[in-house]
């Protein structure tokens, strides 16, 4: 903790060469920063804001490295299950780094911008191309990292380039290279980098057409119960080799409604695990293990979780079957 206090002082000191604006707290409950509403405290949570975000982020990362403090990069927290014991070290929250710059048929979006905010701004200018993402929780940084996918398109389909702080903390631009991306895979998953922004291709379109597609997607999500209870969207990845969507596989085994503690397979969708109110992160993890084991035992299929388990999971061993 001493090392963390020193880092916090260095970051927020008025004498710092990079002036800090934003928020910084010790023992910050991650329930406040995850769509699942679970997770214990982050030792030190820092949410820089303002135009000095890249410099501040670089400084935080470099101080953490100097002291060998673990650091986790947080977007909107819409794909995470944070351990009940929390996250050791620093959580660098990117959601204060927001905004879009439009240039003809492209837009550069800062990584902390919420998905819907940029789509709305583009629509106001009569630009579409991103509306397939409408209604998806989370930030652009998380969506690029995850290569988020919905309604038949992946974010990589519209990506032109990504600006990152690379492993040496250089601010560089990585042109889109199709072979580096695949279903729910981006090249950044194998690297220790911070995504600063993404530049995306837009199409000039009729505003009412854009709005109607956005509304259709939002309504569809609403009807499918996406926002009914806290969740992180799909719990498991799809895989064409399974021959059917993962949700259907889980449905057909009668696992809708299966629960562990406060975590439950949604009554309305086999591939969504929900927090019914008082779920512990361990309940979600145990339920995931239970589903995996049943699907493996019945069908020989290995389901791969899409939700990410992060933080301090020591001593929380998943359920035995």
Does 118 engage in binding with ligand FAD (CB under 6 A)? Answer: no
Contact indicator for 139, 166 with CB cutoff of 8 Å: no
C-alpha atoms less than 13 angstroms from C-alpha of 145 in its C-beta half-sphere: 29
Does 148 engage in binding with ligand FAD (CB under 6 A)? Answer: yes
Residue number with CB closer to ligand FAD (74 or 123):
74
- Contact stretch for ligand FAD (CB under 6 A) within 74-82, 169-177, 286-294, 311-319: 74-82
Residue number with CB closer to ligand FAD (63 or 80):
80
Q: Are strands 71-74 and 87-93 parallel, antiparallel or unpaired?
A: parallel
Q: Is 153 left (phi over 0), alpha (psi -120 to 50) or beta?
A: beta
**Angle 234-196-91 (CA atoms, 0-180°, nearest 5)?**
65
Does 231 engage in binding with ligand FAD (CB under 6 A)? Answer: yes
- Contact stretch for ligand FAD (CB under 6 A) within 68-76, 98-106, 168-176, 249-257: 68-76
Does 138 engage in binding with ligand FAD (CB under 6 A)? Answer: yes
| Positions marked active-site | 234, 306
Rounded Cα gap, residues 269 and 246, in angstroms: 10
Q: Are strands 71-74 and 106-110 parallel, antiparallel or unpaired?
A: unpaired
- Contact stretch for ligand FAD (CB under 6 A) within 9-17, 139-147, 259-267, 275-283: 139-147
Site string for ligand FAD, 5-44 (x = CB under 6 A): ------------------------------x---------
Please tell me the count of residues contacting ligand FAD according to CB under 6 A.
31
Residue number with CB closer to ligand FAD (26 or 183):
183
Rounded Cα gap, residues 270 and 253, in angstroms: 9
Does 73 engage in binding with ligand FAD (CB under 6 A)? Answer: yes
Residue whose beta carbon is closest to ligand FAD: 142
- In angstroms, the first-to-last Cα distance of the chain is 39
Site string for ligand FAD, 251-270 (x = CB under 6 A): --------------------
Give me the residues that bind ligand FAD (CB under 6 A), please.
35, 73-80, 94, 111, 136-139, 141-143, 145-146, 148-150, 194-195, 226-227, 231-233, 308
């Amino acid at each position: 903790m001493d090392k963390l206090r020193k880092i916090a002082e260095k970051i927020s000191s008025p004498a710092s060469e990079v002036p800090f604006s934003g928020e910084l707290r010790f023992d910050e409950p991650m329930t406040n920063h995850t769509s699942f509403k679970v997770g214990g405290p982050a030792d030190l949570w820092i949410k820089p804001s303002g135009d000095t975000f890249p410099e501040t982020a670089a400084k935080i990362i470099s101080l953490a490295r100097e002291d060998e403090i673990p650091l986790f990069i947080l977007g909107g927290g819409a794909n995470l299950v944070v351990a009940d014991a929390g996250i050791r070290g620093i959580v660098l929250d990117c959601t204060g780094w927001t905004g879009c710059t439009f240039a003809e048929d492209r837009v550069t979006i800062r990584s902390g911008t919420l998905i819907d905010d940029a789509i709305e701004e583009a629509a106001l200018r009569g630009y579409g191309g991103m509306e397939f993402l409408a209604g998806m929780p989370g930030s652009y940084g998380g969506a690029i990292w995850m290569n988020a996918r919905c309604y038949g398109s992946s974010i990589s389909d519209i990506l032109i380039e990504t600006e990152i702080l690379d492993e040496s903390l250089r601010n560089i631009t990585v042109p889109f290279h199709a072979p580096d991306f695949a279903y729910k895979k981006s090249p950044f998953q194998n690297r220790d980098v911070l995504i600063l922004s993404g530049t995306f291709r837009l199409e000039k379109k009729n505003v009412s057409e854009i709005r109607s597609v956005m509304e259709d997607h939002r309504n569809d999500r609403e009807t499918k119960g996406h926002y009914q209870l806290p969740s992180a969207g799909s719990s498991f990845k799809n895989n064409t080799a399974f021959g059917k969507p993962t949700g259907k596989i889980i449905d057909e085994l009668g696992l809708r409604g299966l629960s562990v503690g406060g975590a439950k397979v949604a009554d309305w969708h086999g591939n969504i695990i929900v927090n019914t109110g008082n779920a512990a992160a361990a309940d979600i993890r145990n339920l995931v293990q239970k589903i995996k084991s049943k699907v493996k035992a019945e069908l020989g299929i290995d389901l791969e979780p899409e939700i990410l388990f992060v933080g301090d999971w020591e001593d929380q061993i998943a359920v035995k079957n």
